[in-house]
């Protein structure tokens, strides 16, 4: 019942607030996208809003777009965020071209629609977030959504049913969702570091801990590897103050305490000799070999969006997913799609480095913590995604949106400073009657 009331309250808020305050609408939309309330409260929640056939996210999206338009499409002066966002646009367009060239399928149409919806949601969020305050609210929406889902999965696990490993979550298997939790735990940890309020700080760290535990009982080797890498890169970019180091060491101790015998044995099977690898690992290696063969044969448009599994059955006699986001992008839509997607992630991460190492001026110190968050999350995701075929995982794309918003806020600050300097120069000219 709690889920029913919460989701309908949020939906009504999104519907009626969006035309006047579209930022509220995009927050509700992102909340639903990350949380997947139909999966979380499947036992009590309607499949669609009031059984109308329209999903909860979709019913919020329509007034959101109207409100965005009435708000003059926000502020699209996004500065250095333009390049990485352009790469994502080119990736989305190339996937569309691939679908046209290789023939449409119902699942391919769904995937293209998901890509466009995600791109539009990112654009709306990017255009409406132009202050640190709004950015903080946007981040907390993602942290809350991931943390609450992790809480529910932990409760199910402690009650004796490992729901994630047995049934997955929101159409995602344990490996897929574990990678999402890696990204979410990084977000929550750095949000805790950035928070000044003690209660909010504790809530963020609790969300990070819950998500780390989900990764452990998911038994996903890719997720565990991603979490381990997140620890390493967090240490590398973390300011080495006594407070930060104490928090980091405590996080490592808690993480190792959750890395029990069962997940440890599961993780180290990934490093066994070739003849000792389990079926899952051998399947991945075979699938990656098949992907490499097809990438040479069909480099431009691939075999078609979502067609890979059936293609492998006819081509290689095995019905297999690519088991890698990067291979999946290449064999589905061609090498150009892979390059556009990689450049989106790479440029988004690289543009956080000058902020992390204080090479450029930022209007708020919190932005440095948020930049570290984006950088670590992208690196951890990028390596973990090599082991899982992920289709438009919303949490990681919204995390990168955080990085793009940081770039926009810094750009707007620079524009404002230049304008103030121009006005000062004009004032000096008027006062002293000469050109500066």
State whether 286 and 340 are in the same domain: yes
State whether 140 and 169 are in the same domain: yes
Q: What pLDDT digit, counting tens, does each position of 294-343 carry?
A: 999 999 999 988 888 788 888 887 777 778 889 999 999 999 999 999 99
State whether 168 and 134 are in the same domain: yes
Q: What pLDDT digit, counting tens, does each position of 253-302 carry?
A: 998 888 877 777 776 665 555 444 555 667 778 888 888 999 999 999 99
State whether 196 and 221 are in the same domain: yes
Q: Indicate the residue among 45, 73, 101 that finishes a domain.
A: 73
State whether 41 and 55 are in the same domain: yes
State whether 134 and 229 are in the same domain: yes
Q: What is the mean pLDDT of the chain?
A: 88
Helix (H, G, I), strand (E, B) or coil at 172: strand
State how many domains the chain has. 2
State whether 314 and 200 are in the same domain: yes
Domain residue limits at 25: 1-73
| Residue, of 143 and 50, whose pLDDT is higher | 143
Q: Indicate the residue among 35, 54, 73 that finishes a domain.
A: 73
Q: Indicate the residue among 73, 98, 120 that finishes a domain.
A: 73
Beta-carbon contacts of 27 under 8 Å, excluding residues fewer than 6 positions away, are 137, 138, 141
Q: How many Å apart are CA 110 and CA 254, to the nearest integer?
A: 40
State whether 292 and 275 are in the same domain: yes
State whether 26 and 166 are in the same domain: no
Tokens of 283: 């399947």
Q: How many Å apart are CA 367 and CA 379, to the nearest integer?
A: 18
State whether 48 and 106 are in the same domain: no
Tokens of 168: 């997955």
Contacts 24+ apart (CB under 8 A), 104-111: 105/304, 105/305, 105/306, 105/307, 107/305, 107/306, 108/304, 108/305, 108/306, 108/307, 110/306, 111/305, 111/306, 111/391, 111/392
State whether 113 and 217 are in the same domain: yes
pTM of the predicted protein model:
0.92
Q: What is the arithmetic mean of pLDDT over 144-171? A: 90
C-alpha closest to that of 334 among 89, 95, 90, 116:
95
State whether 66 and 180 are in the same domain: no
Give residue 436's pLDDT: 47
């Amino acid at each position: 019942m709690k889920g029913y009331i919460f989701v309908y309250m949020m939906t009504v808020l999104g519907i009626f607030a969006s035309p006047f305050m579209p930022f509220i609408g995009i927050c509700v939309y992102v909340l639903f996208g990350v949380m997947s309330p139909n999966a979380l409260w499947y036992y009590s929640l309607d499949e669609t809003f009031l059984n109308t056939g329209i999903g909860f996210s979709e019913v919020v999206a329509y007034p959101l777009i109207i409100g965005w338009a009435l708000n003059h499409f926000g502020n699209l002066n996004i500065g250095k965020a333009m390049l990485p966002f352009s790469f994502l646009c080119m990736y989305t367009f190339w996937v569309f071209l691939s679908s046209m060239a290789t023939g449409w399928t119902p699942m391919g149409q769904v995937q293209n629609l998901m890509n466009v919806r995600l791109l539009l949601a990112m654009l709306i969020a990017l255009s409406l977030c132009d202050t640190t305050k709004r950015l903080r609210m946007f981040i907390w929406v993602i942290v809350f959504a991931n943390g609450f889902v992790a809480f529910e999965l932990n409760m199910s696990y402690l009650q004796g049913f490992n729901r994630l490993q047995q049934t997955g979550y929101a159409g995602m298997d344990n490996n897929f969702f574990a990678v999402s939790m890696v990204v979410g735990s990084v977000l929550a940890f750095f949000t805790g570091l950035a928070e000044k309020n003690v209660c909010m700080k504790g809530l963020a760290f609790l969300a990070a801990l819950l998500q780390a535990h989900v990764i452990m009982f998911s038994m996903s080797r890719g997720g565990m590897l991603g979490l381990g890498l997140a620890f390493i890169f967090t240490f590398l970019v973390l300011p080495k103050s006594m407070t930060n180091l104490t928090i980091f060491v405590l996080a490592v101790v808690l993480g190792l305490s959750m890395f029990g015998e069962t997940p440890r044995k599961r993780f180290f099977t990934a490093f066994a000799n070739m003849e000792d690898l389990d079926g899952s690992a051998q399947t991945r290696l075979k699938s990656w070999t098949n992907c490499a063969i097809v990438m040479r044969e069909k480099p431009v448009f691939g075999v078609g969006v979502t067609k890979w599994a059936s293609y492998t059955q006819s081509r290689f006699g095995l019905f297999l997913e690519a088991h890698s986001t990067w291979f999946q992008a290449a064999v589905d839509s061609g090498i150009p799609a892979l390059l556009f997607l990689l450049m989106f992630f790479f440029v988004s991460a690289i543009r956080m480095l000058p902020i992390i190492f204080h090479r450029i001026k930022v209007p708020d110190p919190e932005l440095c913590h948020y930049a570290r968050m984006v950088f670590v999350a992208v690196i951890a995701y990028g390596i973990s995604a090599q082991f899982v075929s992920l289709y438009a995982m919303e949490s990681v794309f919204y995390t990168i949106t955080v990085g793009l918003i940081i770039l926009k806020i810094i750009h707007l600050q620079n524009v404002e400073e230049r304008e103030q300097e121009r006005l000062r120069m004009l004032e000096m000219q008027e006062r002293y009657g000469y050109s500066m």
